[in-house]
Amino acid sequence: MRLRGIQFIYDNQGKKISAVVDLRRYEKEFAVFLQELSQKRSSGRTSTNPVVGDTTNVVGSGGNNSGSTVNARKLKIDALLKTARSYYGVPYRTGGISHSGMDCSGFTQTSFKSIGVNLPRISRDQALVGQVISKSQLQPGDLVFFATGTPGRVNHVGIVTDASNPNAIRFIHASSSRGIMETSMSINYWVRAYVKSRRIV
């Protein structure tokens, strides 16, 4: 079975290259490939988004669409969450964007940068990017915003990691007391502080 739908990628000269990927055999390798391209982009070695088009259609050997769709978005989200989780335990530091310390928006900005997405530096500005979605629509990779100070005023952000249980959606964030950690939105503190959600990828 062949998989089509990644219309093209860019080489390091900015030229388009057609791509046909057998994800049945090379899904993990392709995810690593996307991550490496994104890292090259974020380091300034290429100025274009390495992947164009979000969906990859599965085409059978006869050339007919089998009706199944492999979502290339999932590969990017998997790479995003792998990067985000690599920061587990990093201490909280206001203005920080490295393993020596991070604040909440520095964490989300750095994590998304690893897949070639540039977010604003401040959480309230990140809350203006992407597509507005409801709490019931949350998926892994979405951003969730909270007001832990002035009611209704965004001052905290995290990345959804697991939305399989709508009553206990989990997210990873930079806690001011415990550093980078994963927790549940069902905890009363976060239920009261929740403001909005955005989908970036």
> DSSP string covering 165-196, please?
STTS-EEEEEETTTEEEEEETTSHHHHHHEEE
Residue ranges of domains in the chain = 2-78, 86-199
- pLDDT of res. 30: 64
- What's the fold here for domain 86-199? endopeptidase fold (from Nostoc punctiforme) (3.90.1720)
Instruction: List the catalytic residue out of 141, 173, 193, 197.
Output: 173
Instruction: List the catalytic residue out of 41, 74, 76, 156.
Output: 156
The pLDDT averaged over each successive group of 10 residues in the chain (201 residues) is: 43 51 58 62 45 39 40 92 98 96 98 97 97 97 97 97 96 97 98 98 93
- Tokens coding 148: 């832990």
- Tokens coding 33: 């490939």
- pLDDT of res. 56: 41
- Running DSSP on this structure, what letter comes out for residue 122? S
Dist CA 7 CA 19 (whole Å): 7
Closest CA to 183 of 147, 153, 159, 150: 159
- pLDDT of res. 61: 39
SS3 87: coil
Extended beta strands in 47-193, E state = 51-52, 55-59, 65-71, 97-98, 101-102, 131-133, 143-146, 156-162, 170-175, 179-184
Is residue 99 annotated as part of the catalytic site, yes or no? no
Instruction: List the catalytic residue out of 9, 104, 119, 159.
Output: 104
